[in-house]
Copies of this chain bind each other. A is one copy, B any other.
Amino acid sequence: MSGGGGKVRYGMVGGGEGAFIGAVHRSAALLDGVLELVCGAFSGEAERSRRSALALGIDADRAYPDFETMFRAEATLPQERRMEFVAIVTPNHLHLPIALAALRHGFHVLSDKPATATLDECIALRDAVRASGLLYGLTHPYAAYPMIEEARARVAAGELGSIRKVLVEYHQGWLAQPIERSGQKQAEWRTDPERAGRGGCIGDIGVHAFQLAEHVTGLRVTRLCAALYRVVDGRALDDDASVLLQFDNGARGLLSASQIAVGEENALTLRVYGDKAGLAWRQEEPNTLWIKHADRPAERLRTGGAYLGERAQAAARVPAGHPEGYIEAFANLYRDFAAQVRAFAGSTPPCPVRNAVPGIDAALRGMAFIDAAIGASASDAKWHDFPRLE
């Protein structure tokens, strides 16, 4: 399964003790046995960073106090030992400096979203990626579910006809109370403009919804109308957002994101309607995809079904009826990025594999969306053009 010759080696910045998403990245990277975590700078505090590295079984001399030290040191190692890419899982404000430093030292980058703290930063990053010729990937795990692969394939094949309406929602309830004031670490940095960037809810989860909508439909947003709210008193960033969308083919859309939808867990849903058929998908029950027809019964497609397309098949690991979850979706990103890294290194032919990993262009569109939504929300005018990015 791991192909010719050893595992793909990666290092990690962030994700030390107590972090959430770092652990998910590492599990995802483990699942298929094709990746190896060889080094890390897991925390801004050197001691904590080292403790985390030890707990993860990393050699003591590759438990680095900070990312600059790590990149410098790794770059001096023999090619067959040194890390091949870095996974960035820090708060948002650090994404840019880490990514730039990694590229500078010749390492590919796989970054948690959003790509940077601001759109300008992301343009700088885009330019750096292009200049480097290296690989850049952004972890939007929801796009890597098997049934999202299927949804995308069906839309691309014209099964829905011309797309007319796109409804995407991402609702959570965990920030319904000001828990950032009572020491919840995740809430602290995600509600803090210094660390999260300009977007609160819109940047934390709205951007996932935006990416999913463009990814599945293949359409591009051209105009938007936004209303971002700070529902919980005293918050500096939005915690709820409604955005009306217009797409490049004339389709209309509605994006609703909220972190104050009390009682909701991680309710990301997508509905797309064309002139022939519609589809519906819910992240909390990710192995089911509905295709809704005008004149015959709705069909319930399931992960593992023999009737699915090639890409959806490749994205699944167990037979139908054995549920695949969030970690498996995330693992698809790591597996695909590892394949990219191998092909880049020439150790495998540049295979035309399924590739669920969004790249720098998707990253830039995500940042542009956050930026545009914030700008549109502050304006009295209804419609605003989506920024042109080249």
| Copies of this chain assembled into the complex | 4
Within 8 A of B (CB), among A150-180: 164-165, 167, 172-174, 176-177
**A301: B residues at CB distance < 8 A:** 297
A318 touches B326 (CB 8 A): yes
**Of B2, B167, B317, which is within 8 A of A256 by CB?**
B167
Known interface pairs A284-B321, A322-B326. Does A294 touch B262 (Cβ–Cβ under 8 Å)?
Answer: yes
- From 256 to 297 in chain A, residues with beta carbon under 8 angstroms from any chain B beta carbon are 256, 258, 260-267, 271, 273-278, 283-287, 291-297
Question: A204-259: which residues lie under 8 A (CB-CB) from chain B?
Answer: 225, 227, 229, 231, 240, 242, 244, 252, 254, 256, 258
Q: A285-B323, A324-B325, A381-B381 are in contact. Are A275 and B262 (CB under 8 A)?
A: yes
Selected contact of A32 from candidates B27, B33, B321, CB within 8 Å: B27
- A298 at interface (Cβ–Cβ under 8 A)? yes
Check B252–A240 contact: CB distance below 8 A.
yes
**CB–CB B231/A242 < 8 A:** no
Q: Chain B: which residue is nearest A24 at the CB level?
A: B318
Query: For residue A33, which residue of chain B has the nearest CB?
Result: B30
16 of the cross-chain contacts (CB-CB < 8 Å) are: A1-B56, A2-B57, A30-B30, A173-B278, A225-B382, A227-B382, A229-B252, A254-B256, A262-B275, A265-B304, A265-B319, A266-B321, A295-B306, A317-B327, A323-B323, A324-B327
